[in-house]
Amino acid sequence: MKIAKRVPDAIIVVLLLGLSFVTLYPFWNSLVISFNVGADTALGGITFWPRVFTLENYQVVFKDERLIQAFVISIFRTVVGTFLSILFTSMFAYGLTKKNLIGRKLFMIMCIVTMFFSGGLIPSFILIRSLHLIDTFWVLVVPGIIVVWNLIIFRTFFQELPDGLEESAKIDGCNYIRTFFSIIVPISGPVIATLSLFTAVGLWNDWFTASIYINNPHLMPIQTLLNQIINSNAMSEQLSSAGGEASEFVRQLKGVSTKSLVMATMMVTTLPIIMVYPFLQRFFVKGVLIGSMKE
């Protein structure tokens, strides 16, 4: 009887262990390959442990000027973009909580509509082109400043703050801007931290914007560069399956990076996300909940 009751539990545990394994294995395998000598990786068969351990791949990554530059661009973009986005989105949201704001309803509807309709890829592309933003750093930052989802979460948060908080500032004759920065912002730490993290992860991970708006290799963020490297690698593999001799030729011709090197680049690219992940995890359950409650 007792055993019969335990069986379902055991099945569930096994299933979830399987899921965890399937989820973690690609990360682990890539990490292992990144610590393996490139020429040896090409022989295949690397699964749980490096066969010929080396730090060489990481040395190459950290010496490659193109990669370093891409990391710098990504970091810069993430920091500047997150700061501007949180600043302007939160100010906008605060303004929208004030009932006397002229145009409040119109602004709100305008924002909500963008969640359901958009002009689409091509009109945005034409717009960015005619604004002469192509091949500028700002195209990576400015179009994404207002995030409507964050706007709604900020607004909900500000609305729930007790009205009395702002009284003293009003009595002292502070205007709305002073009140916002000296009273509201200091007590909004958690929500600002949460949304900053989410915005930062989104900016760090975005590869597509740069892939269509940036041609200048000095402005290429790391994810976009990685996308290009992986593509050229995948291309060579496809060609290699067509014929062994051609592949070596193609590889030399394109100067394609070895798999181990790509994996090392990838690991360095995911490192910032892994580093903030514990904080993310603490916050995001709450964040998602606020979002879904609004629905």
Partner 1 sequence: MHTELLAAKKTKKRSPSKKGILQAYIGQWDLQLMVIPGVLLVVLFSYVPMWGVLMSFQNYNLFTGFLDSQWVGMKHFDMFVHSSDFYRVMRNTLSISLLKLMFGFPAPIVLALLLNELKGFRFKRFVQTVSYLPHFMSWVIVSSFVISMLSVDNGSFNIFLMKLGIIHEPVNWLSTSQYFWGILVSSSVWKDVGFGAIVYLAAIAGIDPHLYEASAMDGAGRLRQIVSITIPSITPIIIIFLILNIGGILNAGFDDILNLTNNGANTLLRPVSDVIDTYVYRVGILGQRYSYATAVGLFKSAISVVLLVLANLLARRMGRSSLW
Residue placing its CB nearer to partner 1 in the complex, 65 or 242: 242
d(CA 242, CA 221): 32
52, 75, 101, 169: which one contacts partner 1 (CB under 8 A)?
101
Q: Interface with partner 1 includes 4 (CB under 8 A)?
A: no
Single out the residue of 8, 58, 11, 67 nearest to residue 38, CA to CA: 58
Listed in order, strand segments (DSSP E) in the chain are none
Residue placing its CB nearer to partner 1 in the complex, 55 or 273: 273
119, 190, 217, 243: which one contacts partner 1 (CB under 8 A)?
119
Interface stretch with partner 1, choices 57-65, 74-82, 155-163, 268-276 (CB under 8 A): 268-276
69, 80, 143, 166: which one contacts partner 1 (CB under 8 A)?
143
Write out the two tokens for 195: 């949304």
- Residues 193-232 as x/- pattern, contact with partner 1 by CB under 8 A: --------x--xxxxx--xx----------x--xx--xx-
Minimum distance from CB of 248 to partner 1 (Å)? 13
2, 65, 109, 116: which one contacts partner 1 (CB under 8 A)?
116
Within positions 146 to 175, which residues make up the interface with partner 1, using CB under 8 A? 146, 148, 151, 175
Contact 242, 168 (CB under 8 A): no
**At a CB cut-off of 8 Å and minimum separation 6, what does 148 contact?**
111, 112, 114, 115
Which residue is listed with tokens 């690698």? Answer: 233
Within positions 36 to 75, which residues make up the interface with partner 1, using CB under 8 A? 41-42, 44-47
Within positions 8 to 37, which residues make up the interface with partner 1, using CB under 8 A? 8-9, 12-13, 15-16, 19-20, 22-27, 29-30, 33
d(CA 227, CA 266): 10
54, 69, 124, 136: which one contacts partner 1 (CB under 8 A)?
124
Contact 247, 239 (CB under 8 A): yes
Write out the two tokens for 233: 């690698």
Residue 51, helix vs strand vs coil: coil
d(CA 164, CA 158): 13
* Residue type, position 218, single letter: H
Minimum distance from CB of 78 to partner 1 (Å)? 13
Total binding residues for partner 1 by CB under 8 A? 99
